[in-house]
C-alpha cells in the first residue's frame, strides 16, 4: 500500500547541489571552534507561533535547515521564531563530515550547532550510518575494513558533538519495504549486528545523547516494514543495546496513507518498548492531490493536522520535525527531482516561497493546541 521510489529517498537529502562542494572543501574544525552565526535573536515569543504552541503542548517542533540559506536574513529569523528543534539537512551526513578516510570536516555542522544554541533550540544529529550520501571511498570497503570505518566514523562524529546534540539518528533506513536488510546498502553485508555495534559506539562516544533508529514507511500498524522494525528494536532493547527512540520520517504520500488512528496505534506500539517516538522528516506534497489549488492546500492541511493529532494523543511522541522551512527550498521543489516525480508543483511545507503561512500552518497550529 505504501511505496516510495528510490530517487525520492535519495533526492530529498541532496538539497541544493551547488552547496555540496562547499561542504566538502571545509577544513577540520576542532570542537572549541563552534561559534555563532551572528543571526539576530527573534523578538519575543509570539503566542501564535508554532514554537509557543508546541511548548505549551510539551512537544518539540522542528525543521531541517541548511547553512547556505542563511544568507537571506529572513530564513534564520523565521527558523528561530517558529521552531525550537533543528535538524541538519546535509551537514552531518557522512559525505560532508568525512569526505576522505580519517579526514573530518565539521564546519557546517558546527555552524548549525551554534545557531541552535544561540536561539535555545534542540539539535537532532542526522545521521551517523546510512547507505546513501556516503563518501565515495566508503563504498569500496567490505568486511572488517567497512566495520572499522563505520565505528570510527560514529565515534569521532558523536564525540565531536558530545554535549551539543540532544538526539542522534544513529542508523537510518536499514530495511527495505519487505522488511529485509537493504540490498543497496554496503552495511547489510555485515549482518544485522552492525546496527547494535553502531548504537554501542554512539553511546560510548556521547553518553548523554538520545539514540534513535530512523526510517520511512513505518507508519502503518502492520506493514512488513513496520513489523520488521518493531522486531529489530524489540531485540535491541532485550539485548541491552542503548536505544532510546524511533524516528518515523513521515514523507507523506497523499494517495495512500494511514489514518490518524492507524498512526496512533503505530506510535503506541513502539512506545510499548519504552521508546520515545518522533516524527523526523515530515512533508506533504500536494501535486498528486486532486482538485483546485485551494482544495489541494486544504487537503494538505488536513493530512498534516491528522499526523500531529496522532502524535499529541500519545505521550511518548515527543516531537515533530518538518523536512525544510519553506517551499522554496524543499527537495520536492528542486527541478531535477520534481520532474521525476511529476504532477508538481508539490509545495510540501508549512510556509510558501515568500515565508507566508499556508493553510497547513494553521492546521498544525490547531492540532498542537488540541483543536
Catalytic residue among 82, 197, 278, 281: 281
Question: Which segments within 216-364 are labelled E, that is strand?
Answer: 245-248, 276-282, 317-322
Please indicate whether residue 281 is annotated as part of the active site: yes
Catalytic residue among 173, 197, 219, 278: 173
Pairing of strands 167-172, 122-129: parallel
- Are the C-beta atoms of 95 and 55 separated by less than 8 Å? no
H/E segment holding residue 95: helix 94-97
Which residues are CB-neighbours of 312 under 8 A, at least 6 positions away?
57, 59, 367, 368, 370
Burial of 281 per CB tally in 10 Å (0-12, 13-18, 19+): buried
- Hey, how many other C-beta atoms are within 10 angstroms of the C-beta on 41? 12
**CA 90, CA 85: separation in Å to the nearest integer?**
16
**CA 345, CA 335: separation in Å to the nearest integer?**
10
End-to-end CA distance of the chain: 30
- Are the C-beta atoms of 65 and 86 separated by less than 8 Å? yes
Please indicate whether residue 288 is annotated as part of the active site: no
Active site residues: 173, 281
Amino acid at each position: 500500500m505504501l511505496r516510495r521510489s528510490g530517487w525520492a529517498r535519495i533526492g530529498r537529502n541532496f538539497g541544493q547541489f551547488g552547496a555540496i562542494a562547499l561542504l566538502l572543501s571545509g577544513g577540520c574544525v576542532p570542537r572549541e571552534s563552534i561559534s555563532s552565526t551572528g543571526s539576530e535573536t527573534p523578538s519575543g515569543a509570539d503566542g501564535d507561533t508554532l514554537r509557543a504552541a508546541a511548548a505549551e503542548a510539551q512537544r518539540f517542533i522542528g525543521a531541517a535547515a541548511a547553512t547556505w540559506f542563511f544568507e537571506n536574513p529572513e530564513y534564520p529569523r523565521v527558523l528561530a521564531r517558529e521552531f525550537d528543534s533543528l535538524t541538519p539537512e546535509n551537514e552531518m551526513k557522512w559525505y560532508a563530515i568525512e569526505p576522505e578516510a580519517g579526514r573530518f570536516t565539521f564546519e557546517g555542522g558546527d555552524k548549525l550547532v551554534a545557531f541552535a544554541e544561540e536561539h535555545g533550540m534542540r539539535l537532532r544529529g542526522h545521521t551517523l550510518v546510512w547507505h546513501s550520501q556516503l563518501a565515495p571511498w566508503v563504498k569500496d570497503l567490505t568486511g572488517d575494513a567497512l566495520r572499522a570505518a563505520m565505528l570510527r566514523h560514529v565515534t569521532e562524529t558523536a564525540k565531536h558533538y558530545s554535549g551539543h546534540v540532544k538526539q542522534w539518528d544513529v542508523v537510518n533506513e536499514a530495511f527495505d519495504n519487505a522488511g529485509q536488510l537493504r540490498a543497496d546498502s554496503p552495511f547489510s553485508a555485515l549482518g544485522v549486528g552492525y546496527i547494535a555495534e553502531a548504537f554501542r559506539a554512539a553511546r560510548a562516544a556521547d553518553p548523554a545523547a538520545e539514540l534513535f533508529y530512523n526510517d520511512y514507511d513505518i507508519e502503518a500498524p502492520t506493514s512488513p516494514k513496520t513489523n520488521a522494525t518493531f522486531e529489530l528494536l524489540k531485540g535491541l532493547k532485550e539485548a541491552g543495546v542503548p536505544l532510546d527512540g524511533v524516528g518515523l520520517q513521515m514523507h507523506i504520500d497523499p494517495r495512500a496513507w494511514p489514518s490518524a488512528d492507524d498512526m496512533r496505534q503505530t506510535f503506541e506500539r513502539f512506545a510499548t518498548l519504552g521508546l520515545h517516538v518522533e516524527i523526523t522528516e515530515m512533508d506533504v506534497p500536494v501535486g498528486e492531490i486532486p482538485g483546485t489549488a485551494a482544495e489541494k492546500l486544504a487537503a494538505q492541511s488536513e493530512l498534516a493536522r491528522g499526523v500531529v493529532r496522532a502524535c499529541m494523543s500519545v505521550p511518548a511522541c515527543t516531537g515533530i520535525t518538518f523536512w525544510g522551512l519553506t517551499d522554496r527550498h524543499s527537495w520536492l521543489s528542486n527541478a531535477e527531482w520534481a520532474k521525476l516525480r511529476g504532477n508538481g508543483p508539490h509545495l510540501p511545507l508549512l510556509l510558501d516561497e515568500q515565508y507566508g503561512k499556508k493553510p497547513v500552518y494553521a492546521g498544525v497550529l490547531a492540532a498542537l493546541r488540541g483543536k
